[in-house]
Structure 1
Amino acid sequence: MSIQIGMKTSKVHGVSSAELANHWGGEAGALASPMMIIFIEMTCMSITDHLLEPDQITVGYRFNINHLAPTPPEWKVRVDAELIDVDGRMMTYRIEVHDAAGKVADGTHTRFAVSNTRFHERMQGRKEAASVLDSTPP
């Protein structure tokens, strides 16, 4: 099987207290946007990553997500994702997120296929360069 536009899936994720905005410094006791984006990434990866070359992985490249409504703790969200564009190693997915009360989010997410080996070599090079400068981020 090869990667083809139109491939889609849905995944259900539970919302725990550790995934609420107030657990991460926000004030809302609802699903945090960064956690929702992790759910979106996991769902998109499940569509295509198993079809990549053996040394390839995908990395998040672009997020165009509208977080439309709050999801309370202990609820579940369903992420629906469909591959809508493939441009070389770049894959773009249309996403929607729903909970029991309706639509929570919509938008697009783009992932980029890269060599796992090269990715980790590049990360190691960045770590070594940072230790020469200053390991404390700005």
Structure 2
Amino acid sequence: MLKEGITLTLEKVVKAEETAAKVASGALEVFSTPMLIAFMEQTSFELAQQYMKEGDTTVGVSVNIKHLKANLVGDRLKCISTLEKIDGKRLDFSVKVYHNENVVGEGEHSRFIVNEEKFLGKLKG
């Protein structure tokens, strides 16, 4: 059951195609902020998706994060997402990414529960 306080932890290894130089967010071969955000969103999405009824999913609606430390290709990262608040169909998560014991990114992420068919139908007109 979807409830406040549930968590999910995902791990990944930084890939060469995820660097700032490769995703056009900077010049260095370090883990990019857009990919850090994507990792946080993925972890929060997967946490919520476990509890969605058939035909429902979540979409990201806001991200407020700090990228605190750089990481190299090959570094192993761990993201922990915690569902902090449920407000109707809005889900608010706290997210932290670690390399070893060091926090490399942290912040808040919000998602909204939608019915896939209705959501896409509105977009298609």
Superposition TM-score tier, normalisation by shorter sequence = over 0.9
CA distance in 1 between partners of 2:55 and 2:121 (Å):
13
Higher helix residue share: 1
CA distance in 2 between partners of 1:56 and 1:70 (Å):
36
TM-score computed with the length of structure 2 as normaliser: 0.93
Structure 1 SS opposite 2:122: helix
CA distance in 2 between partners of 1:112 and 1:90 (Å):
5
User: Where does residue 67 of structure 2 map in the other structure?
Assistant: 67
CA distance in 1 between partners of 2:31 and 2:124 (Å):
33
- Superposition deviation, residue 16 in structure 1: 0.3
Q: Over aligned residues, Cα RMSD in angstroms?
A: 1.2
Give the residue type in structure 2 aligned to 1:62. Answer: S
In the alignment, structure 1 segments of 5+ residues that lack a partner are: 126-138
Higher Cα radius of gyration: 1
| Deviations, residues 89-115 of structure 1 (Å, cap 9, x unaligned) | 000111110113611011110000011
Give aligned pairs, total: 124
CA distance in 1 between partners of 2:29 and 2:83 (Å):
32
Whether 2:55 is the aligned partner of 1:22: answer no
CA distance in 1 between partners of 2:114 and 2:61 (Å):
11
Residues 26-105 of structure 1: matches in 2 within 5 Å? Answer: 26-100=26-100, 102-105=102-105
User: Where does residue 11 of structure 1 map in the other structure?
Assistant: 10
In the alignment, structure 2 segments of 5+ residues that lack a partner are: none
- Superposition deviation, residue 3 in structure 1: 0.6
TM-score computed with the length of structure 1 as normaliser: 0.85
Higher strand residue share: 2
The 4+ residue runs of structure 1 with deviation greater than 3 A are none
